[in-house]
Structure 1
Amino acid sequence: MLFRSRAYRTFASTSLGGMSLFYVDMAWSQTSIPPAHDGHVVTQATVPTSKVKPPPARTAASAEPVLENIVVTGTRANRFGTDVVQAGSFRGAKALDTPLTVNVISRAVIETQQARNLQEVLQNTAGVTVSQTTPTVYSNLAIRGIAVDNRSNYRLDGILPIINLIDIPIEDKDRVEALKGASALYYGFTTPAGIINLTMKRPTQKRYLEVDGVGDSNGGRGGHIDYGQTWGMFGARINGLYADVDSGIDNTFGSRYLTSGAFDLKPTKNLTMRLDIEHIYKEINEPGIFRFVKKPTSTVADPYPSVTLPPLIDPRTNFGPDWALNRAQETNLLGTVDWKITKAWNFSLSGGQSWLWRDRHFNYLDPNNINTNPAAGVVGENVLTVGNQQNYEAVNRNARAEVAGTFRTGPLVHELLVGASVNVRDQYNPSTVNQTFTQDYLDPHPIDEVTYKSSVFTNTRINDKGLYAFDRIKFREWLQLLGGIRKSDYTEEMINGARTFHATPITYSYGGIIKPIKWMSLYGTYIEGLESTPGAPTTAVNYGQQLPAAKSQQEEGGIKIQPTKNLLFQVAYFVINRASTYVNGANMYVEDGRLRYRGFEFSLTGDLTDDLSIYASGQALNAKQISGAPSSISASGVYTPTVVGRWVENTPKYTASVSLNYKMDRVIPGLSFNGGFVYIGRRAIDALNQAWIPGYVLFNMGTSYHRMVSGHEMTFRVNADNITGKRYWASTGADLLAEGAPQVVKFSVAMKY
């Protein structure tokens, strides 16, 4: 079958600190490509490397490097593995040439598992945990025990920082990538948890139309339409979704919708323009969670008194009010222009905005705070706090300009990138107004709604500007040396102009890659990171306060083995040193001392055989507070113990996950089975380690059947999550505790035209 396929002239690929030399030119060529089973070409770039092609009259030694033409080839849409990375500056880079831990969750994995939010997608990669809040509303995540900042660490198409305070839709995404560790050289101030990159589905060459119906055993249901096509120089991909959602927890139902478009325009051979836009809406009642407000007092004799955890109750129980609505909407817009100046040099320019608005009723109950005042309510019940925050807004504005090129100095080939970026993050943060009620969490009763509103706003701005340069030096095909530098101009201020923090740091990165054979690489990197300190959590007395930014350091070494294009094994050892922030005994969010994270991580992803695919990962981690304030006694006799030597909260020592998919085509064509498990080890609830939630294992399984019906492809899927009905604590940190959702059966029917 003959398709018009896009040819990418790509230079670069990078390597260190999330920095890369990236250039892409979309040229058209006629190529014979086998269609994917969904009827359209799945684009996947091959190795973006510089190659020397001397003309006949010149010798190889004198030839100038040029940007290699790379043809995008069709791949089977049911592949678990991938040989390329799209995260940030690694767009188009081969996995073997990325000297960091990168986990790519392909569309095939997402569809096989029927993953419907980021938490479900990212549970496939080791070290990911839910932090502080219930995952019912949105996915508040940590990687390697480090919070994934919701305003700077999530990226759309590797560029735009989008705001993760709403369930980011997966239906219009082609893949999700976790670039783990520090990445400040390219992205500026971000936490060293890593970058979560969500890649939009791109326009298809031929007309493509898919209609999906989805549902689950909790009563959730919805419909999704996906349309793509290219007309000459213009291509479009449109996605639309509406769904009624129900988590299975009492009184937690609502709705969500999505409209999005990805557009490509190529007016000339050397110019490519892309525009991505999506609008997201979700409203759902937020279930109640636990928070330890009243805890035993620390003393010299007992500096870390233990806290008693509440019992695990029926996961369908919601002790929060049925009027605790969480309603949010977000609009993301990103435009990109790529211009090929010469065969060896490229200029790119991008700009965009992410805007979010939210109303929220965050509610929690202290299991150890028993009401003893008859005038305040029923004696013997617990105190339930419902915080109302109205008209919260956050806006990210981002722009980036880069010049990239390749040249030779003697036997060395350089891939050089020079760029500038600016990221302005505004936050209009209303105060949270609290009301207290009494509630029995073992036998909840209805709570009458009370009207109260936010009145005081704290409006802040972060302005993160940077100039950066990066050079990858290649000697033949077996050695690469990398070095980068970034000069930042970083300001935190009130929007009225009062500056609260300013710094102009210079950070460095360096490393190397050795490839003893073409399908194996050994790497080592050093990266200096810069991170904005996440705002104080809702429960702290200084809620929303932005503490001064800090520097982090990361060292990582590892091995990557890729015997076939669709099978990748990675193992790495890493050490991260960063500033420590936590809620102290006075319920104040503070910065105190340093944390150190040391661990091993591995993953095996792809196709073991033509019929059996695997996505497996694991991590062993040691995360402790290595410095900080010593224990002290105030003038009033209050004892404050040190956190030095304590384990980092919400950080399991061990995590692991395995997902398998087996195709039964040889027995029943179109039939496949999948299954696996997720293991999360025990975690501390606070910085003092006063209680630990136990570890848990969740088992999942599913099946799918694909066949032709009246000339159209149809796929039927059924998946069951937590098939054993395990009761477990899904989230903790900052004295908060949320129980995992009940088991659920998900199903879908997809028809492709």
Structure 2
Amino acid sequence: MHPRLKAVSFAVATLLAGAASAQSATHIAVTDAPDAQSATADAPASTALSRVTVQGARVRELPISSGALGARTDLETPFSTRQVTAEDLDARQVKSLGKIFANDASVMSLGDTFSFNAYSINVRGIPLDDYNGYKINGLPFFMTTVELPVESFESVQLLKGSSGFMYGFGAPGGIINFVTKKPTDKTLFSADLGYRSDGVFSEHIDAGGRVGDDRRFGYRLNLTHEQGDTYNGANVQRNSGSLGLDARLTSALTWTADAIYQSRRVKGGVQDFFLDDFNGDTLPKAPSGRKNLGAAYDNTFFNSNVFFVSSGLRWQIDPNWSAKVDVSRSQDRRRYSGQWMGLLNGAGDYTVYLNKAQGAATYEQAQALVEGEFTAAGLRHQVTLGLAWQGLNKQTVPKSLYTPIGQENLYAPITPLSWNGSYDDSLQYHNYHSAQKAVFASDTVQFSEQWSALLGLRYSDYDQTSFNTAGTVTNQYHKTPVTPTVALMFRARPDTLLYASYVESLEQGSTVGQTYVNKDEVLAPLKSRQYEIGAKHEGRDWGATAALFEIDRGAEYANAQNVYVSNGQIRLRGAELNGYWNLPAGLRLTGSAAWTAGKYRETDAELVGHRLEGIPKWQGSIGASQKIPGVEGLSANAELHYYARFDADSANKYKLPGYSTVNLGVSYETQIAAHPVTLRAGVDNVFNRNYWGFLQSGYTFVGAPRTLGVNAKIEL
């Protein structure tokens, strides 16, 4: 074990013992096996509400996806994980990625759902990368500017920290895996209607079942429509559909297929504020999230179309061995005309920049995996062997429009602005290609009922190439890294795990933004190392997880010449504590707390020792849900979220104030004509707190105001 972690190993056990005092994590395991059943259909989200939990017997823990590790339960995984089920997404009326993991203090949203940056989140102080940080059923998806249809997923899983062995290239913040809804053995049909501030209506249908001889063929269909005016003056129109199929070819062989399509158009709204032009010592107070800042220019929009399709075979060779093969292809196309704002001073003056562009990406992957277990020399081995290939191609325009069109003020009425220039974004060219070929293997050796060790190795052959409009190579990178994973696990009892792990990882470098001298340049990949010790307990009445980690990662930042560079190293250290506590009379307490500190090391002299921007030192959430006595099916819930203040830029010159938000909700389950009906209502940001959110170094956005959401669902 790393020397720094030896000194604190005892502290983890101490944290675990005390976690029952209302610190919380959700450990609801959901399988992604092809014939898994979903008892409750997913509902489209409105505004995020607290979770409503029906207490009862403990749910059997089922496997989660762990990439090259194969299928493992949370208590078999020597890493921090988090899962959110469709039932939880329904209960909190979650619609956006930024709210899926809102109850985990190590996760922070980096954008608003009605903006260009809807998709982006930060885990352990590190943004997930667009290229490899997001998966659908364990297969890659290029996530830039995309908000996936939450209604189509059975669960969303988060593997925190470095994941080089499990998934190959990826930022050390973690990996998010969206698990699609699967065909159900029982015929399922549900419909729901939703509304959220200030005039967005949604309709959703979820249907599933099995047909054919011996009910051999299964299907799961989800259709969603959403349209209306948002709280910040924009208008959203979204249509999405997903279809999951399977065929039980034999008792041991199953074919699966999944397809997702979504068209999402947001008219109006603004993107974010940047600090390059700021002259002052203190940032202005955040305006209301309800203010229509987008009224400055009446022709702004963001349109995206996404398509994902996959197919696979699952073969249960015998009780101890299984194999699977998967192939997938995804496409992402986007076009936008957006407003970016350059803050000028503490009085709230800012310059409006008009930005127009479009882009596209295509991602393909093929992977084969064999899992099994055997005993040799008195030791039990659980092994995984695999091969993988994936390729990413991107297209962009030769030059995006980025021009100032006038000035406004945060607190004054918005003055309409005009722009009389011309811009042709009709031509796109192939500007980027990357390919990964990988061989991986792992062995979990069981020494006794309590002790086991994991060793995993992944060999990757990685190519990355950038092109100009003439098709000439402008930048090329080739690497053949071996990324190891090592872990030691102690199963103190069947429901408790203590572990220590070490992981290495590589990730793609960033594409430089428009406000830097070297805009559009693709930086070289970054290397990271992670050390982690942790503990997990999953009991009937209470459960907890605790983890301490240290991550060394390559650094990217803007230097004194405003050139965005990849140079040096950053170090992050943190502690996480999560837990839940089921009390009598239907009361459930949940909570989550995280302490994270990051500093620049071995970088430009003016940055060495600076705190890493965008990381509150403390984050926390507390939740409670209560069945209302005397009214069958009625529950109320509440959440409190807290973020300490943090730095907005790498120079540590500007601070973003800390803030807290409160969410309240109520749920009522009943029956109409023998059909289950669920009614939900809730309010986010009850006290209408104005706050700045963090997007990336030197960029911030206006937080969401008080919002109302209601939903009615019937199962037929």
TM-score by length of 1: 0.83
Instruction: Give the corresponding residue for 2:262.
Output: 280
Alignment of 1:664-683 (within 5 A): 664=628, 666-683=629-646
1:186 CA displacement: 2.1
Change (3 A) 1:538 1:710: farther
1:376 is aligned to: none
Pairing partner for 1:209 from 189, 195, 214: 189
1:636 matched to which residue of 2? none
Find the residue that maps to 1:358 and give its secondary structure. Answer: strand
Are 2:589 and 1:629 aligned? Answer: no
Does structure 1 retain, via aligned residues, the 8 Å contact 2:34–2:256? Answer: no
Q: CA deviation at 1:271?
A: 0.6
Write the letter of the residue equivalent to 1:476: S
Aligned to 1:513: 489
Residue of structure 2 equivalent to 1:341: 317
In the TM superposition, what is the alpha-carbon distance from 1:693 to its structure 2 partner?
0.4
Structure 1 residue 567, shift from structure 2 partner: 4.6
Per-residue deviation, 1:84: 3.9
User: For residues 369 and 601 of structure 1, do their structure 2 counterparts lie closer, same or farther at Cα, with a shift above 3 Å needed?
Assistant: closer
Amino acid at match of 2:493: I
Contact 1:238 1:260 in 2 (8 A): yes
CA distance in 2, matches of 1:563, 1:331: 40
**Partner of residue 10, structure 2:** none
1:713 corresponding residue in structure 2? 676
Q: Per-residue displacement from partner, 1:541-593 (whole Å, max 9, x unpaired)?
A: 333322111211001001111222x8531000000000011233433221121
**Residue deviations 1:338-397 (CA, integer Å, cap 9, x gap):** 1233443322111101110001223222221799xxxxxxxx97421111013x001111
Report how far residue 736 of structure 1 moved. Answer: 1.3
* Aligned-partner Cα distance in 2 for 1:204–1:164: 32
State the Cα distance separating 1:728 from its structure 2 match. Answer: 0.5
CA contact (8 A) 2:361 2:395 kept: yes
Aligned pairs for 1:473-622 (under 5 A) are: 473-494=445-466, 496=471, 498=473, 500-564=476-540, 567-605=542-580, 607-608=582-583, 611-622=586-597
- Counterpart CA distance in 2 for 1:490 and 1:221 is 45
Report the AA paired with residue 574 of structure 1: F
SS at match of 1:104: strand
The residue that corresponds to 1:685 in the other structure is 648
Matches within 5 A, 1:39-438: 83-89=61-67, 92-131=71-110, 136-137=115-116, 138-231=118-211, 232-250=215-233, 252-284=234-266, 285-295=268-278, 307-320=281-294, 321-368=297-344, 382-390=350-358, 392-430=359-397, 431-438=399-406
TM-score (norm 2): 0.87
Give the Cα–Cα distance (whole angstroms) in 1 for the partners of residues 262 and 322 of structure 2.
34
Distance verdict in 2 for CA 1:259–1:130, change over 3 Å: same
Quote the Cα distance in structure 2 between the aligned partners of 1:466 and 1:661: 46
Structure 2 counterpart SS, 1:110: helix
Measured in 2, the distance between the counterparts of 1:155 and 1:457 equals: 26
Shift of 1:162: 4.5
Which has the larger Rg?
1
Q: Secondary structure at the match of 2:100?
A: helix
Higher alpha-carbon deviation: 153-162 or 595-604? 153-162
Q: 1:707 offset after TM fit, Å?
A: 0.6
Provide the residue aligned with 2:22 in structure 1: none
Task: Give the conservation status (yes or no) of the 8 Å contact 1:189–1:530.
Answer: yes
Q: What's the Cα RMSD here?
A: 2.8
The answer to whether the 8 Å contact 1:406/1:414 transfers is yes
CA displacement 1:509-562 (0-9 Å, x = unmatched): 111110122221110000111111232234333333221112110010011112
**Taking structure 1 as reference, are residues 440 and 350 closer, same or farther at Cα in structure 2, changes over 3 Å only?**
same
**2:620 corresponds to 1:656:** yes
Secondary structure of 2:363's partner? Answer: strand
> In 2 relative to 1, CA 462–38 (structure 1 residues): closer, same or farther, beyond 3 Å?
closer
Structure 1 residues 537, 82: closer, same or farther in 2, change over 3 A? farther
- Matched residue type, 1:545: E
> Retained in 2: the 8 A contact 1:291–1:736?
yes
The answer to whether the aligner puts 1:751 opposite 2:711 as a matched pair is no
| Deviation by residue 1:38-60 (Cα, 9 ceiling, x = unmatched) | 79xxxxxxxxxxxxxxxxxxxxx
Q: CA–CA distance in 1 between the matches of 2:507 and 2:178?
A: 21
What's the CA shift for 1:76?
A: 7.0
SS at 1:111 equivalent: helix
The answer to which of 572-581 and 87-96 deviates more is 87-96
Could you report, residue by residue, the CA deviation over 1:455-512 in whole angstroms, capped at 9, with x for unpaired residues?
Answer: 6746101112211111011123211111011111111113647361111111211111
Instruction: Identify if the C-alpha distance between structure 1 residues 147 and 275 changes in structure 2 by more than 3 Å, giving closer, same or farther.
Output: same
| 5+ residue gaps, structure 1 | 1-22, 40-74, 297-305, 372-379, 631-641
User: In the superposition, relative to structure 1, how do residues 38 and 221 fare at CA in structure 2: closer, same or farther (>3 Å)?
Assistant: closer
Q: CA deviation at 1:628?
A: 1.1
Higher relative contact order (CA 8 A, sep 6+): 2
Residue 53 of structure 1 corresponds to which residue in structure 2?
none
Structure 2 distance, partners of 1:82, 1:121, is 23
- Are residue 453 (structure 1) and residue 424 (structure 2) matched? yes
CA distance 1:108–1:37, shift in 2 (3 Å): closer
CA distance in 2, matches of 1:248, 1:203: 36
Which whole-Å CA distance do the structure 2 matches of 1:578 and 1:224 have between them? 42
Distance 1:336 1:173 in 2: 18
Q: What's the CA shift for 1:307?
A: 3.7
1:740 is the counterpart of 2:703 = yes
Q: Could you tell me which residue of structure 1 aligns to residue 26 of structure 2?
A: none
